[in-house]
Amino acid sequence: MSWFEGLTEWLRDALGLFIVPPLSAAFVLILALAASLIATGAQRLMLDVKIIRQQAQELRRWRNELLEAHRARDLKAIEKLMRKKPYMDKLQAMYMAQTMKPMIVYFIPLLFLYWLFMGVFHGPVAYLPLIGVPIPFWAWYLITYLGVSPILQRVLNVDFQSSD
């Protein structure tokens, strides 16, 4: 037995009733909440949210103006906006580099935890209400993570698309 299998078996024993539904669904929700808190906290600590938010707004404004010019078939406006494209491409690259920076800190630990709990939860962790379709760990984790992450980003003021 490898160290990993030993660790997953120990976790299965330690979690007890939390590895079977409905408690497993609650545990995975808490796990997703913790993972989202780690990721959002790293973003909050490592990024200047105000600058990133300004970059996102400038990019969005330029894209919207370009889209409107295309819709109106305003060739002069399109030409004028396309002169800004090299700058906007550079701004987009800076924006992406900044927002990806915290991933260096949290990606590997969260990937390890995900891999570990994939070994812990063998059966379904939840069931769809009313129809009773079983939901495996990876799907329930994804659903809950995508559900709690935007809320935490909003609460911790790391939502790059909103305004101050």
Taking only the tens place, the pLDDT of each residue in 44-63 is 888 888 888 899 999 999 99
Residue 159 near residue 153 (C-beta atoms within 8 A): yes
Bigger pLDDT: 131 vs 25: 25
Taking only the tens place, the pLDDT of each residue in 73-119 is 999 999 999 999 999 999 999 999 888 888 888 888 889 888 999 98
Peptide bond into 22 cis (omega under 30): yes
Residue 22: CB partners within 8 Å, gap ≥ 6? 126
Question: If you average pLDDT over every residue of the chain, what do you get?
Answer: 89
Q: Average pLDDT of 4-13? A: 88
pLDDT, position 106:
87
Q: Average pLDDT of 62-77? A: 94
pLDDT, position 5:
86
Burial of 84 (0-12, 13-18, 19+ CB in 10 A): middle
Please provide residue 127's backbone torsions phi and psi, each rounded to the nearest 5 degrees. Answer: -130, 140
Asked if residue 22 has pLDDT above 70, the reply is yes
Q: Tell which residue, 1, 26, 35, 28, has the closest CA to residue 120.
A: 28
- Reported as a pLDDT band with limits 50, 70 and 90, residue 164 is very low
- Reported as a pLDDT band with limits 50, 70 and 90, residue 131 is confident
Q: Average pLDDT of 111-129? A: 90
Tokens of 38: 């780690």
pLDDT, position 130:
85
Asked if residue 1 has pLDDT above 60, the reply is no
Residue 69 near residue 57 (C-beta atoms within 8 A): no
